[in-house]
């Protein structure tokens, strides 16, 4: 008893199984996390080390190189990169895909601990961190108001931050902007000199005067009480009253020689939103959280918080990823529903019966709900990629039911009863349906063997397709025969209606289809007579289409329009904040003229990088948030190109304009230049930059070896210093306190710890003469000029030193403007191939062009494996090597359809197209399987080959066209309807639609011709072998 027979005889069991599955599916659906992309696990870890006051060259020599050498022996390492900047080292380790990062980071910590003792004392403990692309902010808010920004910061910390961080699913709510509170102790150098004091004595007095701690215990009666000495500063006035010993045995107050004030850190960053000063609040979700759910909770809580805020305080949402995710998911769901609806209407026209249509259609929602259940059980998320897989497979989910139903339907038309038709019809096409389903499932298995970003992104899509097809196959076998045996009581007459004059569209459709069947029969007859012509035409068409490839272009992953344009402003190094602000304001004014603008947020300077608090007062940025994609005509890329032209009118700064493109894996174009000498690297990188700028379609060309920074180098003469009893440490301390200020202790107030900073008056920083004439107190109380113990000179230092695989490297990067990635990178490679590099210097290419090449090679292998696996599965299913070989001839014509489709729609070849093509391979063999399976059945009954083909072709035309058209129409909205998030899905859908259309048209003629041709070849060989045997037999008889 097969599965279909069981379902017909046990209908209640089938219904209960289906209902149980639907209940579990609906329970699991709300629990599935929703995100834009699958959770990405990049095998990248980083070692970050802060080094107080060290230049990039010193950081490279003393910290980066020892750490690199130690980490070079870590297992599964792919490449090692490093960045040495002023005051910080960053060593980045790229591991092979599939590496267990938890074990790798443990190994890294062990290696770093081994060299910890060899690092300089000024280096803080190295931190080993994992790079997590999922820990990006999902929502950002801007806080504005009439109050001072620092007051806004205090209010935000008290009223907003803590409440948002209490929300389940929120990892952190971080506040950026504002100035930290600080206690400045500004010493008067003249008074310091008059009392014969040094800065070290002041620092020591503040440190020892701000202590508290445990001092043992004492017995009181039967109890032992601990003793605590409390001497910490209680207020700023107490700091000013700190006693300082002077030479004659007396003491003075700190306030006698210094001004103590409770103030704020100097402004290092200014932020504006829509022209108002603001603070930023970034919300990061916990790993594995549902982005939409967390964002909705945050927004709901923020509405409650707004009610408790002062009247003049306003909170504006500047970025909300959940809106784009919601729009993208809902757009895809809408397209799926629309496509499914069109497919159902088409089925009704083909079958001409509402009951028949319902039998086929009922499999669709059941299969989708079952897919969600399987996704939940295997820890998948609902995202743009997995939903694309479900939508692309939508047409083929109905296919299995349609093929089975159409055959049962035909048996009913032949006059068989409901039970007999269901049993016989399902049994007849059971093998074909199983082979079709297994074909579509097995083509996605090789994606599991791919590596890199393509595997991370499209692995979930492959799983979704496999799950949905397993569900569709099971429920087609269980439900369609059972329902057909119960509800197909009446069947419409699809006979000849040539004299029909009514207005029933279904009858007119079937009249047209009967004509099409007859026309196909005539075409098939002609093709079997002109087999060489048909095969030659197919080969010529395929070769001609391959010549279109250079005209199509290629890219890595299609850019997504997230509705955000970023403008980066870079002034000459050392530019003060006020000057950078003026230029940023000019840029902001031009950005405000863009008609599609929604929110404009501006940031000048920086509050310090995660690595080190490096000053960047010469940097600024303007972020333009655009209105919804449905409310504007231009894409964010078009707007970025327009802005780029408008901002050329501002002289001086280096301005970079780029559109936020969602899934980014680095710059589209990246040229890596390796060598040892920084000056040679600088010269060659400038030449390469110039060459790249001449290539049309490049924009924002930049080099990582920024222009050098000038600094004053104070070189201590140890011999002269020792004469005065001074050490290098004392000289460094004096210079640092004078020109930067030095944190000498902490002042606690409530929950906060405030730095107490010892410094000299600010006018000392305004004139170079103060540096030359700086007086340093010696241990004897004498004052010595800095120039007496050190030489002061101006030197050039690089801003950052990059290294890759233990060699210095410069990265020259570029964005794209109006051209595809492949053509631009090919042209750049051709230009740079003529470059003669000195010995020891080499070029290679990275960025998206490298990712594209790797992914294309990986997916190309997956396509070949899919074809091989497909043949093997069908051979096993048919228990024949011959039939699957004939069926495989339906695959090559797909290339013609896909390439023509891409050219007509202006779509570039991308990773998405490859995934669409893999799905297409599984779909196209369906038609050939349905046709060849029936031909084999007729041949088994004794029919001659050509007769079997001419009989099977028109009969199988209906299920072939039904499945093909329902698939094409079901995914049509995905290819052409537009909307949020369709950029990655459209290329997949276009590949499937055009490939399936062309393949079906050619397969209906080519596969029968190939089958007939190979049959004749086989027959002729048999005849030859028979003649040879007869020749051997005749002499034997005669003798």
Q: How many C-beta neighbours within 10 Å does residue 17 have? A: 16
| Sign (positive or negative) of CA dihedral 53, 58, 64, 66 | negative
Instruction: Please state which of the ranges 320-324, 347-351, 660-664 shows the lowest mean pLDDT.
Output: 660-664
What is the separation of C-alpha 325 from the centre of its chain, rounded to a whole number of angstroms? 13
Alpha-carbon Rg for the chain in angstroms:
38
- Better pLDDT: 552 or 392: 552
**Widest CA span in the chain:** 144
| One fold for 3-31+352-491+505-556+853-1023 and 181-264+710-797 | no
Q: Give pLDDT tens digits for 10-50.
A: 888 888 988 998 999 889 888 887 777 777 777 888 998 88
Q: Which of 323-337, 367-381, 475-489 is least confident?
A: 323-337
Residue 818 is classified by DSSP as S
- Per-residue pLDDT averaged across 894-918, rounded? 87
Q: Residue 270: what pLDDT?
A: 79
Residue 589 vs residue 356, higher pLDDT: 589
Interval 231-241: pLDDT, tens: 888 888 888 88
Q: Of 568-572, 896-900, 907-911, which one has max mean pLDDT?
A: 896-900
Q: Is the pLDDT of residue 608 over 60?
A: no
Question: What is the structure's pLDDT at 1039?
Answer: 54
Reference 136, options 13, 295, 373; nearest CA is: 295
Taking the CA atoms of 1028, 1032, 1033 and 1034 in sequence, report the sign of the dihedral they define.
Answer: positive
Task: Say how far apart CA 470 and CA 750 lie, in whole Å.
Answer: 62
- Does pLDDT of 498 surpass 70? no
Length of the chain, please?
1039
Q: Note the pLDDT of residue 1034.
A: 61
User: SS3 of 132, please?
Assistant: coil
Helix (H, G, I), strand (E, B) or coil at 905: helix
**How confident is the model at residue 981, as a pLDDT?**
64
Would the pLDDT of 319 be above 70?
yes
What digits encode the pLDDT tens for the residues 137-188? 888 888 888 767 778 888 888 888 888 888 888 888 888 777 778 888 888 8
Task: Tell me the whole-structure pTM to 2 decimals.
Answer: 0.75
Class of the CATH domain delimited by 3-31+352-491+505-556+853-1023: mainly alpha
Q: What is the pLDDT of residue 33?
A: 79
At 555 the three-state DSSP class reads: coil
Say whether 37 sits in a helix, a strand or coil.
coil
Task: Note the pLDDT of residue 23.
Answer: 92
How many beta carbons lie within 10 A of that of residue 449, not counting itself?
Answer: 11
pLDDT of residue 1037: 57
Cα–Cα distance for residue pair 780/392, rounded to 1 Å:
85
Ramachandran class of 886: left when φ > 0, alpha when ψ lies in -120 to 50, beta otherwise: alpha
What's the pLDDT score for residue 612?
36
Report how far apart, in Å, the C-alpha atoms of 338 and of each of 12, 341, 579, 971 are.
Answer: 32, 5, 55, 9
Would you call 490 helix, strand, or coil by DSSP?
Answer: coil
**pLDDT given for residue 614 in this prediction:** 47
The confidence score (pLDDT) of residue 609 equals 38
Kindly state the average pLDDT of the residues 472-497: 76
Q: For the chain, how far is it from start to end, CA to CA, in angstroms?
A: 57
Q: How many helices (H) and strands (E) does the chain have?
A: 36, 30
Of 560, 559, 643, nearest to 597 by C-alpha is: 643
Query: What is the model's pLDDT at position 496?
Result: 58
Can you tell me whether residue 10 is helix, strand or coil?
Answer: coil
- Rounded CA gap, 902 and 920, in Å? 14
Would the CA dihedral through 265, 267, 270, 276 be positive or negative?
positive
pLDDT more than 90, % of the chain: 1
- The residue ranking higher by pLDDT, 122 or 464, is 464
Residue 120: band (very low, low, confident or very high) from pLDDT cuts 50, 70, 90: confident
Q: What is the pLDDT of residue 492?
A: 63
The mean pLDDT of 617-629, rounded to a whole number, is 83
Q: Average model confidence (pLDDT) for the chain?
A: 82
Q: In b/e form, how buried is each residue of 145-162, taking b as 16+ CB within 10 angstroms? A: bebebbebbebbeebbbe
Instruction: For residues 809 and 79, give the distance between their C-alpha atoms in angstroms, rounded to a whole number.
Output: 13
In the structure, what pLDDT confidence band is assigned to residue 737 with cuts at 50, 70 and 90? Answer: confident
Between 3.30.70.1430, 3.30.465.10, 3.30.450.20, 3.40.640.10, what CATH number should domain 44-130 receive? Answer: 3.30.70.1430
Please report which helix (H) or strand (E) contains residue 831, including its range. helix 821-832
CATH of segment(s) 181-264+710-797 = 3.30.2090.10
Q: Which residue has the higher pLDDT, 178 or 675?
A: 675
pLDDT given for residue 607 in this prediction:
39
Torsion of CA 571, 576, 577, 578, to 10 degrees: -100
More confident residue, 77 or 449: 77
Expressed in percent and rounded to 5, the helix, strand and coil fractions of the chain are: 55, 20, 25
**CB–CB of 452/78 below 8 Å?**
no
Q: Structural domain boundaries of the chain? A: 3-31+352-491+505-556+853-1023, 44-130, 181-264+710-797
Say what the pLDDT of residue 679 is.
81
Mean of pLDDT values over 286-313: 84
């Amino acid at each position: 008893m097969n599965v279909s027979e069981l379902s017909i005889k046990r209908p209640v069991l089938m219904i209960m199984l289906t209902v149980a599955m639907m209940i579990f599916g609906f329970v699991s659906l709300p629990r599935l996390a929703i995100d834009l992309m699958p959770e990405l696990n990049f095998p990248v870890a980083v070692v970050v080390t802060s080094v107080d006051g060290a230049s990039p060259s010193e950081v490279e020599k003393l910290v980066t190189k020892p750490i690199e050498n130690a980490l070079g022996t870590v297992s599964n390492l792919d490449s090692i990169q490093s960045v040495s900047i002023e005051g910080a080292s960053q060593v980045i380790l790229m591991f092979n895909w599939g590496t267990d990062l938890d074990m790798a980071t443990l190994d890294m910590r062990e290696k770093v601990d081994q060299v910890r003792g060899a690092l300089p004392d000024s280096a803080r403990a190295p931190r080993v961190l994992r790079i997590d692309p999922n820990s990006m902010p999902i929502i950002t808010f801007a806080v504005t108001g009439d109050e001072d920004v620092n007051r806004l910061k205090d209010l935000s910390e008290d009223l907003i931050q803590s409440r948002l961080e209490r929300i389940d699913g929120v990892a952190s709510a971080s506040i950026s902007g504002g100035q930290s509170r600080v206690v400045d102790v500004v010493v008067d150098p003249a008074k310091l000199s008059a009392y014969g004091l040094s800065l070290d004595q002041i620092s020591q007095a503040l440190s020892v005067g701000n202590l508290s701690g445990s001092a043992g215990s004492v017995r009181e009666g039967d109890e032992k009480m601990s003793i605590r000495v409390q001497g910490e500063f209680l207020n700023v006035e107490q700091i000013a009253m700190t006693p300082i010993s002077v030479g004659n045995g007396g003491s003075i107050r700190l306030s006698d020689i210094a001004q103590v004030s409770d103030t704020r850190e100097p402004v290092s960053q200014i932020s504006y939103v829509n022209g108002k000063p603001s603070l930023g609040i970034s919300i990061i979700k916990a790993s594995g959280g549902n982005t939409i759910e967390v964002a909705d909770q945050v927004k709901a809580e923020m509405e409650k918080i707004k009610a408790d805020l002062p009247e003049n305080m306003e909170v504006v949402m500047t970025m909300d990823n959940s809106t784009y995710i919601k729009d993208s998911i809902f757009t895809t769901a809408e397209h799926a529903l629309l496509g499914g609806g069109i497919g159902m209407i088409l089925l009704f026209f083909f079958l001409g019966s509402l009951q028949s249509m319902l039998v086929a259609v009922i499999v669709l929602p059941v299969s989708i709900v079952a897919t969600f259940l399987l996704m939940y059980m295997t820890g998948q998320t609902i995202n743009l990629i997995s939903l694309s897989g479900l939508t692309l497979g939508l047409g083929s989910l109905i296919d299995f039911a349609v093929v089975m139903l159409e055959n049962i339907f035909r048996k009913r038309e032949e006059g068989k009863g409901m039970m007999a038709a269901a049993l016989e019809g399902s049994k007849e096409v059971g093998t074909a349906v199983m082979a079709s389903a297994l074909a579509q499932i097995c083509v996605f298995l090789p994606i599991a063997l791919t590596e890199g970003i393509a595997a991370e992104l499209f692995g979930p899509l492959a799983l979704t397709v496999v799950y949905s097809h397993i569900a569709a196959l099971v429920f087609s076998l269980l439900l369609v025969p059972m329902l057909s045996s119960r509800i197909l009581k009446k069947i419409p007459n699809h006979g000849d209606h040539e004299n029909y004059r009514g207005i029933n569209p279904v009858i007119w459709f079937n009249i047209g289809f009967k004509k099409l069947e007859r026309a196909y029969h005539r075409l098939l007859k002609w093709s079997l007579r002109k087999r060489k012509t048909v095969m030659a035409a197919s080969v010529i068409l395929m070769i001609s289409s391959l010549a279109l490839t250079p005209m199509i272009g290629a890219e890595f992953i299609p850019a997504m329009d997230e509705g955000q344009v970023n403008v980066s402003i870079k002034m000459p190094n050392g530019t003060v904040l006020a000057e950078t602000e003026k230029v940023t304001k000019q840029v902001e004014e031009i950005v405000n003229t863009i008609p599609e603008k929604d929110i404009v947020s501006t940031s000048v300077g920086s509050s310090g990088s995660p690595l080190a608090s490096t000053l960047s007062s010469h940097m600024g940025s303007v972020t333009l948030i655009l209105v919804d994609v449905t409310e504007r005509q231009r894409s964010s890329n078009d707007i970025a190109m327009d802005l780029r032209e408008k901002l050329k009118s501002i002289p001086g700064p280096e301005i970079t304009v780029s559109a936020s493109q969602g899934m980014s894996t680095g710059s589209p174009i990246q040229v890596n230049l390796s060598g040892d000498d920084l000056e040679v690297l600088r010269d060659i990188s400038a030449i390469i930059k110039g060459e790249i700028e001449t290539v049309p379609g490049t924009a924002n060309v930049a080099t990582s070896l920024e222009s050098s920074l000038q600094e004053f180098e104070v070189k201590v003469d140890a011999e002269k210093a020792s004469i005065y009893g001074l050490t290098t440490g004392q000289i460094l301390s004096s210079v640092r306190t004078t020109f930067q200020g030095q944190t000498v202790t902490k002042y606690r107030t409530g929950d906060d710890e405030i730095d107490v900073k010892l410094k000299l008056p600010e006018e000392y920083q305004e004139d170079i003469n103060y540096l030359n004439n700086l007086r340093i107190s010696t241990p004897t109380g004498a004052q010595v000029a800095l120039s007496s113990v050190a030489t002061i000179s101006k030197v050039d230092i690089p801003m950052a030193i990059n290294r890759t695989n233990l060699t210095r490297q410069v990265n020259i990067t570029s964005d794209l403007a109006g051209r595809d990635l492949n053509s631009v990178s090919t042209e750049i490679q051709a230009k740079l191939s003529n470059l003669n590099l000195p010995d020891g210097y080499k070029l290679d290419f990275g960025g998206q062009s490298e990712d594209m090449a790797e992914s294309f090679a990986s997916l190309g292998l997956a396509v070949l494996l899919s074809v091989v696996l497909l043949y093997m599965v069908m051979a096993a299913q048919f228990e024949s090597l011959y039939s699957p070989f004939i069926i495989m001839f339906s695959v090559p014509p797909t290339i013609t359809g896909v390439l023509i489709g891409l050219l007509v729609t202006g779509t570039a070849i991308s990773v998405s197209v490859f995934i669409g093509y893999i799905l297409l391979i599984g779909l196209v063999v369906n038609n050939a399987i349905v046709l060849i399976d029936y031909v084999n059945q007729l041949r088994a009954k004794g029919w001659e080959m050509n007769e079997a083909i001419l009989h099977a072709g028109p009969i199988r035309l209906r299920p072939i066209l039904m499945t093909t058209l329902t698939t094409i129409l079901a995914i049509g909205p995905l290819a052409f309807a537009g909307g949020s998030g369709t950029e990655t899905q459209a290329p997949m859908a276009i590949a499937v639609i055009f490939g399936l259309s062309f393949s079906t048209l050619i397969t209906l003629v080519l596969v029968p011709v190939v089958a007939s041709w190979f049959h004749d070849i086989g027959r002729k060989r048999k005849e030859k072998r028979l003649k040879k045997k007869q020749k051997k037999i005749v002499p034997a008889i005669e003798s």
